[in-house]
Amino acid sequence: MNSIPKLIRRFVGIWLISSFLLIVLNFGISVFIAMKQSPNGTPWKTAEQAAAALQRTEKGYALSGLVSAELKSHHVWAIFIEDATHQVVWHTDNLPDSVPLEFSVSDVADLTRGYIDGYPTFTGKSEQGLMVLGYPKDSFWKHMWPSWDYQFIANLPKMIFFLLSVNVALIFLIYMIANSKLLKSVRPIADGIQALPTGKPVVIRERGLLSELSANINRTSQVLQSQNVQLRKKETARADWIAGVSHDIRTPLSMVMGYAEQLKSDASLPDSVQKKALVIYQQSQRMSNLIRDLNLASKLEYNMQPRKQKRENVVALVRQVAVDFMNTDIEKKYPMEWETEDTLSSCFVNADRDLLKRAVSNLIQNCINHNENGCTVYVSVQSTEKSCIICVEDDGTGISEAERKALNTAPNYMVCDTNTTERRHGLGLQIVRQIAASHGGQTLVEHSPHGGLSVKIFLPRLQEVPVSSQ
């Protein structure tokens, strides 16, 4: 990829520019601080100015008012040592008592580089003698000529932190300026990558450092679009094939069922032949139902099943399906229990009435098919703020925990009996799941508190329409 060398060169360039600017900035700040703290700074100049401003009069020596005021403002005391006598012939009023009034030659030499009683001293030469200024204690660190402000030393950590902050801010600023275009080009690429799984066409402008990456994403989108078209064609062809095969099988199967029904009802035939005809009829009926379920499942999977959705009362619809099954249970082998609360008379959803009845019928029929020795079927409708919940359960054999998890997680999972090769939970539950999904709902398989299996359908609830009074 050509983009990688470009990005590497860009990174190296930004690093070199940042390093150069940081070196220049730090050098400039260091020079500024050094010049400000130069040995020829304020204390020495002030001493020279004081020596020049001291004038001899008839009454003695006098310091100009301007210089005197400056010394007082900085709490500085001053003495003037006459060359001829080495004695202090003039001093300020704030002279400490510990400062001597007479100095030897060696003492004068020490004044130029040291302290007097802890006071850092600075000297200024005149024609008559030596001006000595004493600054407050702990105001300067003095060693020979260099002098360093104690405030500077105390504030050194703050200055270092400030310097580091300036460096970090400069690095961030350089990064943002240098990569602003790169960041702008990354956004559409990120959006395009997120859009790829949705199946939407992705078109990204192929420019800048990431032009090659943008081109690859565009090509990927084109390949996915082409694959989706081919997949839709295959799905349509498969659905049409299933529908065609179902139609072709239905006619001869109807003939088989018709003849089998005649044979099982023919009293002139032996009982063994009638029983065989009954088995043929039952298995043919089973095949017919399987073909019907397969055709419906295929149409639902590929959104080819027409739906006529309108406002439906789930409570009334489910009750009607339960009553129809109760009327067909002549042997009373599968008694039905209606467990919906008496206070719940309606729960409205936007649904296809026939499909929803089919889903409920499949759940009840599932309880009947998988409990040959009979069971009690419990049917109920529950209502929440956002959902209408249809629940069908039984007190039959049930399923294992692993099978329950598989039915909830695997969309096309089949559970088989251990004793037979027949699939216990197949297209029936799959169709229920597909019908629920087509209505914006979902299903949940659980263990029933009655001991068997429980399947719930969750459907989005519609708001109740208030009845207007005349």
- With both helix axes pointing from N to C terminus, report the angle between 353-369 and 427-438 in degrees, rounded to the nearest 10: 150
The domain locations on the chain are 3-37+157-186, 42-145, 237-301, 309-460
Tokens 């049917």 locate to 379
Q: pLDDT value at position 424? A: 47
Q: Where are the beta strands (DSSP E) in 85-171?
A: 88-91, 115-116, 119-125, 129-134, 140-142, 147-149
Q: Which residues pair with 379 in a beta bridge?
A: 338, 392
pLDDT tens for the 470 residues of the chain, in order? 555 566 566 666 766 777 777 777 777 777 776 666 544 457 888 888 888 888 888 878 888 888 888 899 889 999 999 888 888 889 998 999 888 888 887 777 777 667 888 888 888 888 888 889 989 988 887 765 556 677 777 777 787 788 778 877 877 777 777 666 666 667 777 777 777 777 778 777 776 656 677 777 788 888 888 877 887 777 777 766 666 666 677 778 788 888 788 888 888 888 888 888 888 877 887 787 777 777 777 777 766 666 788 999 999 999 999 998 888 877 788 999 999 998 999 999 999 898 899 899 989 988 988 888 889 999 999 999 899 999 999 998 888 888 888 888 765 655 544 444 444 446 778 888 888 988 899 999 999 999 899 999 999 998 766 555 44
- 254-266 CB burial, b ≥16 within 10 A, e <16: eeebeebbebbee
Paired tokens of 105: 């030659």
Strand ranges, E, within 207-326 = 309-313
pLDDT of residue 33: 66
User: Strand pairing partners for 201?
Assistant: none
Using CB atoms within 10 Å of the CB of residue 291, give its burial: 0 to 12 exposed, 13 to 18 middle, 19+ buried.
middle
The CA-based dihedral angle spanning residues 101, 106, 109, 115, taken in that order and rounded to the nearest 10 degrees: -60
Can you give the pLDDT at residue 36?
A: 61
424, 417 in Cβ contact below 8 A?
yes
366-386 in b/e burial notation, b at 16+ Cβ within 10 A?
Answer: bbbebbeeebbbbbbbbbeee
* Cα gap 428→287, rounded to integer Å: 14
> Is the Cβ–Cβ distance between 108 and 102 less than 8 Å?
no
**Res 318: pLDDT:** 94
pLDDT at 406: 84
Query: Could you give the angle at the alpha carbon of 150 between the alpha carbons of 148 and 153, nearest 5°?
Result: 85
Full-model pTM: 0.49
- Quick one: fold of 309-460? Heat Shock Protein 90 (3.30.565)
Please, which residues have CB within 8 angstroms of residue 14's CB and are 6 or more apart in sequence?
Answer: 174, 175, 178, 179
Please name the residue ranges forming H helices in 37-142.
42-53, 65-73, 105-111
Residue type, 226: S
